[in-house]
Structure 1
């Protein structure tokens, strides 16, 4: 399975492993081995870590916790128990990068350290500098959040390869129909 990393933040990409949450809710990491591969593909570690059923369930619980925090109405405070759980997750050990004499660098971690990296990235989303850049994709069924790093801060879609292409194609078809009806 191939994964997309277009959010500009590890935690936002992790939350996006469930696509179209409000309609089809497509699970992109349905098994522990898919989660392990996602962690390697995301660059958290160089090789997929061991993931068992219990640790997979903890990872999914973290993902859903982050989703709940992201979707909390901005006019309300974040739930204290959810904030406490995220902060506890962010306080764990982090992946370890080690330099070798041949100048190569290897990053290793167990699943707990990988989840710590994701929790820390989630906390980072709420920093004021990132919170103002947090944007939701305008794709019809998309439920993906991303950090808008565009110069004009006007990015509309999570990625051009999917949502952006579909939106532009739909706009083109609408213009053609409008011209044809004149």
Structure 2
């Protein structure tokens, strides 16, 4: 299953591994292999680390804590202290290591290193200028947060492919219905 990397922030691309929260709640990290695939596709490390029993649950727990923290940022409400503890602990692990060999530069690390990168990105978002441009996608079925870097700060969709396209098509159909004689 290919994952989407459209947010320009790794943590914001990891959070939607549960799609349509609050309605369908489609879990995209259903297996250890799904987690390994996300890691590989993300480029955090060059090769996915070994995923052991319990690692998938740990990654999901961190994802949910980071989701609640980002939601609190967007909705301007207090954060859950237990979420901060979990994210801070994950961020404290050593990040992936760069290694240069005859084939080139490689990023290597275990799952803790990958989770450290995600947790650090989540924490960085709290003090970064991107924080002020953090919004929810306006699609009723999408629960993806995004950063609005548009000139007028009027972006409404996490991306035009998918959410934006659906909204434009729906608006077009509505205009056509309104313009047609009854």
| Matched length | 181
CA distance in 1, matches of 2:28, 2:97: 26
Aligned partner of 1:169 in structure 2 is 169
Report how far residue 88 of structure 1 moved: 1.5
CA distance in 1, matches of 2:181, 2:141: 28
CA distance in 2, matches of 1:128, 1:93: 22
Aligned partner of 1:114 in structure 2 is 114
Aligned partner of 1:71 in structure 2 is 71
8 A Cα contact 2:68 2:79, kept in partner: no
Give the SS at the match of 1:53.
coil
CA distance in 2, matches of 1:79, 1:22: 19
CA distance in 1, matches of 2:155, 2:161: 14
Residues 115-155 of structure 1 show CA distances to partners (whole Å, capped at 9, x for unaligned) of 00110111122124121011111112000001222232222
The TM-score normalised by the length of structure 1 is: 0.93
Residues 22-67 of structure 1 show CA distances to partners (whole Å, capped at 9, x for unaligned) of 1101111210111011011011111121112211111010001111
Report how far residue 81 of structure 1 moved: 2.5
Which aligned pairs between 1:1-182 and structure 2 lie closer than 5 A? 1-72=1-72, 74-102=75-103, 104-181=104-181
Q: 1:154 to 1:99 in 2, by over 3 A?
A: farther
The TM-score normalised by the length of structure 2 is: 0.93
Q: 1:75 to 1:138 in 2, by over 3 A?
A: closer
| Unpaired runs of at least 5, structure 2 | none
8 A Cα contact 1:124 1:130, kept in partner: no
Which structure would you say has the larger RCO, counting Cα contacts within 8 Å and 6 or more residues apart?
1
Residues 86-129 of structure 1 show CA distances to partners (whole Å, capped at 9, x for unaligned) of 11111111011212245x21111100110001101111221241
Moved over 6 A (4+): none
Report how far residue 4 of structure 1 moved: 0.3
Name the stretch that deviates more: 158-167 or 64-73: 64-73
Aligned-pair RMSD on alpha carbons? 1.6
8 A Cα contact 1:39 1:45, kept in partner: yes
